[in-house]
Chain A
Amino acid sequence: MNDAPHTQFQQQALHLAAAQQAPDWLSALRFAGAEQWLQAGWPGRRTELWKYTPLQALQKTPFQNASGALHSIPANTLLDVDATRLVFVNGILDAGASSLGQTGVVLFSAASPEQQALIARHLGTVATTPRHLFATLSNALAGEGVLVHVPRGAMWEKPVYVVNIAVPEAGAALVSPRLLVVVEDSAQVELIEHFASDAQAQNGFVNSLTEIHCGANARVQHYRINLEEEHLLHIGGVHVDLWRDARYQGFTLAEGSTLKRLDYQITHQGAGASAVLNGVYLPRHQQLLDYHTNVEHKAPHCTTAEVFRGIVADDAKAVFNGRIHIHPHAQKTLAELNNRTLLTSDRAEIDTKPELEIYADDVKCAHGATVSQIDADALFYLRSRGLTHEQARSMLSFGFINELLQGITQVAVRDYLHKHLQMVFAEADSIAPMPVADAT
């Protein structure tokens, strides 16, 4: 497994952790995280979970902790949404751009003793570290973070909108945003996580970790969009625990960058829980974008529906690994996983691997992965109405992912993405499929 016992990056990350200021009540977690981080083998080519995603970009860069200076927010970055809003720039809260005030939403640094106890109880427990090396790094770096605590039976009117923006600093900054969401029994919440970067941000590294505890009969709607530019590295994890009859609806969308790896770990802990996860990935140029999802069915009568679609352009590479693991007593499970990718250049690459592991005998499961081209009949249809080849291609490839965008119920997110992506599709010829389809 190990390419080297401790890589330079592993050492470096711990030096950064040591240089941080962190509250005492997080020391135990930080210490345990640091231990695990150092003990873990560094992923190499033969590490299954990292097979297609080399981490050289991390090794090459000397990182430093973010300076702590308050930077301004790049124009037109934020969603227009009426929400409890927390805007972080290089890990520092921009109080002016934020709008707090919802009881239950608090920074770790401002947590009351009761809230500290709640954080200590849940933080690092939803995230299961064996499959998630970088969750141990998040623990080692645990310091500031956001707690969203929705008490039993509560239904908040406004969504919680957490923004992390990376902007250039003198050195390459390592930022480790942390979000802990505790939704108690029968409570409901809508979360919007938004990652962005300034176009100039060079080689910054964002190591994000989100943990969501969904109590019995709780409902969580969760959007997570990664729109960071080319040079920003992001390794992120979302870990969700679903207890009895809880419902989680997730939507994730990412554009590529030099290195972007996003993991979802959803665990059905209680009977009757349901998870829906839709994802869109759009790497181009020479970007790399890797989605790994893993759903653990540990309880009976649970449902999972997962759809991922992507368009890979130019020399970009995408990885999709979707695993569903059905434990022996998880009878009456319904699970579906579908992945479709459109390759728009003959140099673009997708490594897709849906994995079903079923150890129960009374379950219904389906999975599939296809790599497609644009439909020749549809292309002809649009052109026969006067659209140019390029217009038609761009419209059809946008339509390919728009099917998932249309499912977004939060209007602010849908409108923002619709507008943003239409712009991307109009600008980038490369994202529209190559003219293979009508070569006949």
Chain B
Amino acid sequence: MLEIRNLSARVEGNDILRNLSLTIKPGEVHAIMGPNGAGKSTLGNVLSGRPGYEVTGGEVQFNGKDLLAMEIEERAREGVFLAFQYPVEIPGVSNMEFLKASVDARRRHQGLPELSSFDFMKLARETSKRVDLDQAFLKRGVNEGFSGGEKKRNEIMQMMLLEPALCILDETDSGLDIDALQVVAAGVNAMRDGQRSFIVVTHYQRLLDYIVPDYVHVLAAGNIVRTGGKELALELEARGYSWLEAEGA
């Protein structure tokens, strides 16, 4: 479903990703770990098309299509979803209206009819319950005045509503307490249906206790230096990253 070949990318003139390759099959969960500055977040940003991230080489096929040639919104409509590490606060833009517009866009693209306002509100309320987010948040501005945990739960809620094919979680666990972490993990696990794929970018092994990955990749200096199963995460937890960076160099 996702085929990354020799991807290189740069931000503000600095080469961050170097020749990175990664193949993800439907239903798989891939964890990306690594030290600060390894390029973990860059990968998610490049895949979702964030301005300022310049691809200098390689290609990315998403369900047989050239992902890098697509506009930001096309990628989203095709089913790529990035759960932001730092979701933006947008006061004045109603969360509900924003969510409805997003879901409408995705459904239209899939050839499905738009949901009526009533049906959508019902769905949104149910979904907010599943991520333990107070319904009052639906009426507020997008992420306006949300705590760190509430913002992350809002991201997961958007993911549930949009039902993407590929979910990229960018350090979704950062700043979460253990209860919120469990809520987020339960949300993700409920969406694992054997078809949907996940890239879980994280700093810590802890999240992977709850979202059990099929593969763990270690990213260092813009490339994958080690791939293993879920036990690799435990090893990293015990030994840190330095031994791998030394090996990779």
Contact = CB atoms under 8 A, between A and B. Distances in A.
A395 B72 contact: no
A403 B91 contact: yes
- With a 10 A CB-CB cut-off, give which of A380, A384, A389 has the most chain B CB atoms: A384
Interface in B95-154: 97-98, 101-102, 105-106, 109, 141-142
B93 A398 contact: yes
Contacts of B88: 375, 377-378, 381
A309 to B, nearest CB: 10
Interface in B43-80: 48-52, 71-73, 75-77
- With a 10 A CB-CB cut-off, give which of A386, A402, A406, A440 has the most chain B CB atoms: A386
A376 B50 CA distance: 10
Given A395-B93, A396-B93, A399-B93, A384 B49 contact: yes
B241 interface: no
- With a 10 A CB-CB cut-off, give which of A378, A381, A395, A402 has the most chain B CB atoms: A381
B158 interface: yes
Contacts of B158: 385
Contacts of B22: none
Nearest to B54: A440
B73 A386 contact: yes
B202 to A, nearest CB: 20
B178 interface: no
B51 A438 contact: yes
Given A386-B162, A389-B73, A381 B90 contact: yes
Contacts of B218: none
A388 B71 CA distance: 9
A383 interface: yes
Contacts of B98: 382, 385, 387, 395
A440 B51 CA distance: 6
B119 to A, nearest CB: 18
A401 interface: yes
B48 A384 contact: yes
B129 to A, nearest CB: 21
B72 A403 contact: no
B76 A384 contact: yes
B82 interface: yes
B93 A386 contact: no
Interface string A396-437: 101111110010000000000000000000000000000000
B87 interface: yes
Contacts of B75: 384
Nearest to A379: B51
B92 interface: yes
A406 B140 CA distance: 10
26 contacts: A375-B88, A375-B90, A380-B51, A381-B87, A381-B88, A381-B90, A381-B142, A383-B71, A383-B72, A384-B48, A384-B72, A384-B75, A385-B76, A385-B158, A385-B162, A386-B73, A388-B73, A388-B105, A391-B101, A391-B105, A395-B93, A396-B90, A398-B92, A401-B92, A402-B93, A403-B92
Given A377-B88, A384-B73, A385-B76, 15 more contacts: A376-B51, A378-B88, A381-B88, A381-B90, A382-B93, A384-B48, A384-B49, A385-B105, A386-B162, A387-B102, A395-B98, A399-B92, A399-B93, A402-B94, A440-B51
Interface of A: 375-378, 380-389, 391, 395-396, 398-403, 406, 438-440
